[in-house]
Structure 1
Amino acid sequence: MHHYNESNIITLPCPIFLTYFFTVLIIKDGEIKQIDFCDIQEYLNDLPTDEQLKAHGISVLNPSDDTFLLLQHNHFLSARPNGTFDLTNKAHGWEEFRRISNIPFRFVPEKPYSPRIPHIIHQTDNPLQPQDIYLENIASLKTLNEGWDYRYYSEKDRIDFIYTHYGWEMLNIYLRLNRLYGAAQADFFRYLCVYQHGGVYLDMKSGGTKPISSILHEDDQFIISQWDWNIPRYFEWGKKAELSHIKGGEFPIWCLICSPGHPLMAKVINQMIANIFFYTPALHGTGSVATLKVTGPIMFTRVVFNNLHKYDVRKEDILHKGLNPHMVENIVRKNQYHGQVLPLVIQSFHVGDTV
């Protein structure tokens, strides 16, 4: 089990302003910008004090206990998806900030990094054994990928895995996710799983018609993909307002491919942890909308896109290389998370200026 150390602790030198996008307001080189919360350690010296905000003509309004609005030139400061700010006449969701003084969590421990992607396939579902509807697909995956290690994780296995490799503190965060949101729990696990072991994560209904090895290059470390909008089924997929600045839309997470200990996956995990603690149902919604933003592909895509210049990430058209997100069709679950009206996170920590 990995124990936390001082490098995992985030200590804020001054209160921060958190945007709708779970990003943090900074002032760097005289410009007002946003950075992903997972990168906050790199920008602690750029967090603006009250005096710096005033120097930039920004005044702070507090219309409710945990909501703040920032005014400049009598207009509301509005966060934009691409990390910039704009000024608007009205205050809606993207104009709302939260002011946070203390961070009640730590980042994920750093793992040993390996530059090679191991031949392991990971899948997870709740039952102790895979459901019958998936057995044919699993058999096909094993046959196509002879010599690869196939690993199935039940709900119990996920809990044991997180505790064994990340400890109680991480498991406690996982358990904050409402069990009605099985997709969010699977999101949480898949990032930790490939960060620990590397390899290929596939949703239970996902599979392929060609060996995964035919997709991989020898020097691959982290592979991303996008939906092919020329395929009618996927024409509207991945086109979210939060990703409107990204050509081609989201990077799906039904398939994750990376090497163990990859620092970009650590950033994804750290952002997800922050999102879980800072999630607000009134602002980020419930059901599938909340899942996409907090743990799912919107969160993943934003973090990866903002770090493409830092790491050796290869984009691959995995749909045309034989992988298929819908090898098993028409899965009906008893508890669908899509239309949930209950919050994604149980007992959300009340994060405000008094924390």
Structure 2
Amino acid sequence: MTMQESSFYKIKKNIRKLTEFPLVKIEDKIVNESDDSLIPNNVYQTWETRYLGKTHARSLNDFRNKNPTMSFHLYDKDRRDHYLTQNWSHHPIYKVYSNSLFGPMKADIFRYCILYDLGGYYFDIAKSCSLPLNQLHNKNHKGVITYEDTECFYPPNDEKLFKLKRPFNHFLQWGLAFSKKHVFLKNLIDEISDNYKFYKNIKFENPKLAILNFTGPGVYTKVMRNFLSNNVNHSFNELDIKFNNYGVFKLKGSPIRHYIVPSYSYMANCKICT
């Protein structure tokens, strides 16, 4: 990057900060409607704070407006911690959660636990879907599976998996939909708990990659492959990459959140949990 390009980038960044502040508080949106779908009409999200940039807040509002029958619940750090303490302190996953040093790890664990407890949908705070969520499945589906556009390091180890739309790809887990108490989520939570000993107090050159493998799409893909191999009649609706390309990977305005909470992408040579 030339000095001129660097100066332009700094000016652009400062202008963006000026136009996005003051931050907007995101409240929950509660809808008192229900239907007979096995996947409840509740969307759960988490971030370290309830305050986001103006454009990001508008993007989230658009996501909500696209789903008028859905309730949206945002858990900030304190509310998320309280939920895990109240509901999962009896399980080994709670120790993993408590000793995690990065927010994305806690967000991973939270999404699996709350969807196991309550069922519904989860979306990362910077993601959304351009299609109404209840159009991703029918009322009898117990979950939705879809794919990242990245290939997994490990190939499928069961010929049944080659019947999937993208057998070599990671399963996507920044947007989830499951029925309550789904055994896949229990298996996933138990797998993370079992793997904790391999990550505890280990310093990683690339902490982000370690996190993706430990609590993110790496372990999610491993456990999902095992589940699908052993459960041919799984009642999941299988979609292609990013919810048949209806998934929105980066909401407009969402990078502003990292002015408040720095991204873990630039960390190096450190532990991810104690």
TM-score bracket, shorter-length normalisation: 0.7 to 0.9
Match of 2:246 among 308, 322, 328: 322
1:117 aligns with 2:39: yes
Report the alpha carbon displacement of residue 252 of structure 1 after superposing the two structures with TM: 1.3
1:182 aligns with 2:109: no
**Alpha-carbon contact 1:275-1:295 (below 8 Å) kept:** no
Whole-Å separation in 2 of the counterparts to 1:330 and 1:139 = 13
Unpaired stretches in structure 1, ≥5 consecutive residues: 1-113, 228-233, 347-355
**Alpha-carbon contact 2:156-2:225 (below 8 Å) kept:** no
1:303 aligns with 2:223: yes
Pick 1 or 2: higher relative contact order, CA cutoff 8 A, min separation 6.
2
1:337 aligns with 2:264: yes
Match of 2:194 among 252, 268, 274: 274
Match of 2:183 among 257, 263, 279: 263
Worse-matched range after superposition: 297-306 or 323-332: 323-332
Whole-Å separation in 1 of the counterparts to 2:168 and 2:153 = 13
Match of 2:139 in 1: 218
Map 1:1-355 onto structure 2 (within 5 A): 116-167=38-89, 170-178=93-101, 181-227=102-148, 234=149, 237=150, 239-243=151-155, 247-279=167-199, 286-308=206-228, 309-310=230-231, 311-317=234-240, 318-320=242-244, 322-328=246-252, 331=255, 333=258, 334-340=261-267, 341-346=269-274
Report the alpha carbon displacement of residue 285 of structure 1 after superposing the two structures with TM: 5.4
Whole-Å separation in 2 of the counterparts to 1:131 and 1:189 = 23
Question: Given residue 326 of structure 1, which amino acid in structure 2 is its aligned partner?
Answer: K
Q: Report % sequence identity.
A: 18
Instruction: Kindly provide the CA deviation profile for residues 96-137 of structure 1, in whole angstroms up to 9, marking residues without a partner as x.
Output: xxxxxxxxxxxxxxxxxx981001111110014445343112
Whole-Å separation in 1 of the counterparts to 2:270 and 2:64 = 38
**Alpha-carbon contact 1:206-1:328 (below 8 Å) kept:** no
Question: Given residue 172 of structure 1, which amino acid in structure 2 is its aligned partner?
Answer: K
Worse-matched range after superposition: 169-178 or 270-279: 169-178
Instruction: Identify if the C-alpha distance between structure 1 residues 285 and 305 changes in structure 2 by more than 3 Å, giving closer, same or farther.
Output: farther
Unpaired stretches in structure 2, ≥5 consecutive residues: 1-35, 162-166
Which SS does the other structure have where 1:226 is aligned? strand
The structure whose Rg is larger is: 1
Instruction: Kindly provide the CA deviation profile for residues 303-339 of structure 1, in whole angstroms up to 9, marking residues without a partner as x.
Output: 0111103233331135336332223366162532223
Moved runs in structure 1, 4+ residues, more than 3 A? 128-133, 168-172, 242-246, 280-286
Question: Given residue 118 of structure 1, which amino acid in structure 2 is its aligned partner?
Answer: P
Instruction: Identify if the C-alpha distance between structure 1 residues 277 and 133 changes in structure 2 by more than 3 Å, giving closer, same or farther.
Output: farther
Whole-Å separation in 2 of the counterparts to 1:262 and 1:115 = 14
Whole-Å separation in 2 of the counterparts to 1:133 and 1:185 = 25
TM score, norm. by length of structure 2 = 0.73
Instruction: Kindly provide the CA deviation profile for residues 61-91 of structure 1, in whole angstroms up to 9, marking residues without a partner as x.
Output: xxxxxxxxxxxxxxxxxxxxxxxxxxxxxxx
Whole-Å separation in 2 of the counterparts to 1:126 and 1:155 = 5
Whole-Å separation in 2 of the counterparts to 1:212 and 1:167 = 31
